[in-house]
Amino acid sequence: MKYRSLPLIVLFLTVSALPCGRAQTAAPKPSEAETAIVLSPFVVVTESDQGYRSQFTTAGSRLKTDLKDIAASVSVLTEEFMNDLAANDVASALAFVSGAENDSTYHQEGLTFSGANNYVGGDFGDNNNRSGEVRVRGLGRATTTINYIEVLGSTDRYNTDRSEFLRGANSILFGLAEPAGLINSSTKAARLNRNASKVETKVDDLGSNRVVLDHNQVLLKNRLAVRGVALYNDQRYAVKTAFQRDKRLFATATYTPFAGTTLRSFYEAQNSTGRRPNLRTVQDNVSGWLNAYNTYAPQMTAAQVAAAFYWDGGLRNSANTAGTPPASVVTLADGRTVNLGLIRRDLDSSAQSTALLYSPGQWENPLDNRATILSTRNNTGAAANVSPTAKFIRSGDPRENTVGFLDPQVTSSRIFPYESVEIGALPGNSRWENDHKFYVNLEQRITPDFFVSAAFQHETRSTEQYFAAISQTNQISIDISTRLPDGRTNPNFLRPFIYGRNIGESIDGSLKSFVL
């Protein structure tokens, strides 16, 4: 038995030893091992993102850090997330992120907060007077940065790889943000390892058209590369006269002249023009007045109607001896006594202003080629009449200015055709923006664990805008003045009219930033 089993034992030991011998001969020599690639601690490559999930961020410490190790509220908006939302900018995507509101989901009224020097953020009432602002946790506007450098102009994600949203006051730890938070976008960089090209297009049923061209070219492999991105975006809206047209060009280069040294730079040019529609319809000063008139006027005399619903704005003395005295408490024909409340209101901000009145279709010259001084001021600015009735009066709501009452917005197209007309988007209104940025960044590896980064950016920006009536003051009313403040008969009596404060401005600015 012993002799029979010996060959089997020898054969088993021989076969078992074969894989060990092969593994030893296949091991590469140390000289054949690949050189390790050292990644920048200041950059998070998008290849590490998986769908909507990102593992790393630079928002918490300005260094590439695992999100689970950051003691702050940080949301990373990956490229796939924003692509699925078809978002053109970060503000559009943040409408779906907790704690943030953009101009499409929030409208700010006239609020004050004395505990923080009246800080409530940007102008969310006018869609044309701001550039993708975001309100965070009720505080106001968050700071917008590109590569952690604050920018003046509007942004678009055509030249960004990813965006990071840092909420709350912890964002001021690094001195770069408002108390509300920080929104940072990382620009695309020229890649040193491969050539690549991409074309993106987007259209919609309103006639919008967006095209992005992106090309990366390696000039010296692993040493020098350039990249160019171009954008043409013609955004259209349900209101046919509204549009926003953006033309942008982005050129960037990456150069590694020595081991451990990386130089990155970019230049961006932007030209935008348009008149976007506001999401807030005009204030309705008609419905309340009409409801009261239709309810009570049939039971009033002509004199009572004139005293209760109309206004005689002609010059008179303080005793109201001329014209029809105003009244709000009226006894009806059936014996009831009603208080109509504040169905007549002053025009906002009219105390020391001048009005030019036009008849429809005659916009070249004011009515009778004359100007009207409102309220109690003459053409020299001095007091001319002490009567409180020498002014323009508009229709109002009986509950206006009472506790808990908010100015109503038009909800009936019979009052105002809001589905097809938006005051700020009418021809003649416009906003133009021209912006240029130059950026350069030098990154140096001193030791395997010690890196230094220095960046400089110079931005110049010019804007011009004119809007006949900005969003916050858009209101439709009925002209209930029988006479004008200067005594003339009012030719527009009982006509509806739009009233609002206009804006016209031209701004030139520049910003130089250095970050180490």
Distance of CA 282 to the CA centre of its chain: 19
CA-based Rg of the chain, rounded to a whole angstrom? Answer: 34
Token couple for 321: 């001896």
Distance CA 306, CA 321 (A): 16
CA distances (Å), origin 508, targets 131, 270, 467 = 16, 15, 18
* Sign of CA pseudo-dihedral 291, 296, 301, 303: negative
DSSP string, 191-232: -SS--EEEEEEEE-TT--EEEEEEEEEEEETTTEEEEEEEEE
Distance CA 88, CA 94 (A): 11
6 or 500, higher pLDDT: 500
Distance CA 138, CA 99 (A): 8
Token couple for 272: 């935008």
pLDDT digits (tens, 9 = 90+) for 352-408: 555 566 665 565 566 665 555 555 444 344 444 445 556 677 888 877 767 667 778
pLDDT digits (tens, 9 = 90+) for 36-85: 455 666 566 666 666 677 666 666 566 666 666 666 677 777 788 888 88
Beta strands in 34-188 (DSSP E): 56-57, 65-66, 74-77, 100-102, 134-136, 140-141, 143-146, 149-150, 160-167, 181-187
Q: Which amino acid is at 14?
A: T
Among 164-178, 206-220, 283-297, 320-334, name the one with the lowest average pLDDT.
164-178
Q: Which amino acid is at 494?
A: L
pLDDT digits (tens, 9 = 90+) for 273-307: 998 887 778 889 999 999 999 999 999 999 899 88
Query: In a 3-state reduction of DSSP, which class is residue 477?
Result: strand
Residues 6+ apart with CB under 8 A from 31: none
Token couple for 483: 């006479």
β-pairing, 261-275 vs 430-447, is antiparallel
Distance CA 158, CA 160 (A): 6
Distance of CA 386 to the CA centre of its chain: 45
Which strand (E) or helix (H) includes residue 264? Answer: strand 261-275
What domains can you pick out in the chain, each with its CATH number? 46-187 (2.170.130.10), 283-408+474-503 (no CATH)
To the nearest 10 degrees (0 to 180), the angle between helices 302-309 and 287-296 is 160
With a threshold of 0.75, does the pTM exceed it?
no
Distance CA 133, CA 120 (A): 12
pLDDT digits (tens, 9 = 90+) for 82-131: 888 888 887 777 777 777 777 665 555 444 333 333 333 333 345 555 55
Q: Which amino acid is at 282?
A: V
Query: In a 3-state reduction of DSSP, which class is residue 403?
Result: coil
Residue whose pair of structure tokens reads 């150069």 in the numeric block: 255
β-pairing, 283-284 vs 475-478, is parallel
Token couple for 260: 């451990």
**Maximum distance among all alpha carbons in the chain?**
141
Beta strands in 387-474 (DSSP E): 393-395, 430-447, 450-467
Is the separation of the CB atoms in 242 and 419 below 8 Å?
no
